[in-house]
């Protein structure tokens, strides 16, 4: 298994900078197309926040990003790849979890969960598949939170595995943004 880390950038989300890319450089498509997510067009000329606020499938994620104070960062230059859980993914968490996380006293925990869904760099599914091949069947992505995510190719579908062994699938791929990429996923990923 090959370790797959993100580009260096300073101060994001108030966490330490990520380690340098280890033998893998993303080639995310230069000619991005507009993709529909949650009933809204996601324009490649807009940033992550400008697009996400229009998706009816991501209202919980947007509310969480606002509660954690991460809007300015995700509107910044990036680039970032966001593994974006849908409202349905958040609804799979135990009852009351989302409401508890949105309380001001839980902001550090919410921030950790959200930044665990973000990787520095702009990664298409093609980039991720190549990383998996280079890694002999899986790739490790260092998240902004600091802990890794594991990516595997399971029958030509990308599976994202968190630190607790929970598995998510990319359900809408390669949603290009002016400051990165959104990969829509069907589960919320949790760090240790």
Answer yes or no: is 192 within a domain.
no
Rg of the Cα atoms in the chain: 15
Res 34: pLDDT: 76
pLDDT at 79 over 60: yes
Res 55: pLDDT: 85
Residue with tokens 């091949």, as numbered in its chain: 133
Tell me the β-bridge partners of 158: 153
Answer yes or no: is 50 within a domain.
yes
pLDDT at 3 over 70: no
Answer yes or no: is 191 within a domain.
no
Where is pLDDT greater, at 31 or 80?
Answer: 80
Answer for the pair 37, 80: CB distance below 8 angstroms, yes or no: no
User: pLDDT tens for residues 32-61?
Assistant: 687 767 667 777 888 888 888 888 888 899
Answer yes or no: is 153 within a domain.
yes
Answer yes or no: is 190 within a domain.
no
Residue (of 86, 71, 80, 83) closest to 28 by Cα position: 80
CATH of the domain at 71: 2.30.180.10
Cβ contacts of 13 within 8 Å, gap of 6 or more: 70, 73, 111, 115, 118, 144, 145
> Is residue 94 classed as helix, strand or coil in its secondary structure?
coil
Enclosing domain of residue 46:
2-25+32-185
Answer yes or no: is 82 within a domain.
yes
Res 177: pLDDT: 87
Average pLDDT over residues 74-90: 91
Q: What is the pTM of this model?
A: 0.81
Res 38: pLDDT: 67
Per-residue CA distances from 183 to 4, 62, 136, 159 (Å): 17, 15, 22, 11
Average pLDDT, the chain: 82
Answer yes or no: is 80 within a domain.
yes
**Structural domain count, the chain:** 1
User: pLDDT tens for residues 108-150?
Assistant: 999 999 999 999 999 999 999 999 999 999 999 999 999 999 9
């Amino acid at each position: 298994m090959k370790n797959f880390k993100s580009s260096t950038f300073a101060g994001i989300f108030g966490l330490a900078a990520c380690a340098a890319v280890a033998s893998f450089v993303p080639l995310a498509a230069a000619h991005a197309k507009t993709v529909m997510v949650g009933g809204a067009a996601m324009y490649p000329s807009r940033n992550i926040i400008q697009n996400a606020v229009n998706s009816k499938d991501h209202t919980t994620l947007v509310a969480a990003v606002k509660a954690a104070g991460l809007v300015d960062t995700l509107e910044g230059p990036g680039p970032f790849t966001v593994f974006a859980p849908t409202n349905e993914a958040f609804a799979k968490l135990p009852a009351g979890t989302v409401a508890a996380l949105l309380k001001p006293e839980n902001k550090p925990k919410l921030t950790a969960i959200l930044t665990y869904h973000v990787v520095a760099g702009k990664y298409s599914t093609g980039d991720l598949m190549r990383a998996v091949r280079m890694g002999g069947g899986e790739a490790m992505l260092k998240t902004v939170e600091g802990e890794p995510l594991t990516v595997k190719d399971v029958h030509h579908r990308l599976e994202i595995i968190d630190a607790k062994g929970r598995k998510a699938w990319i359900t809408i791929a390669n949603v290009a943004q002016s400051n990165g990429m959104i990969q829509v996923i069907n589960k919320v990923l949790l760090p240790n």
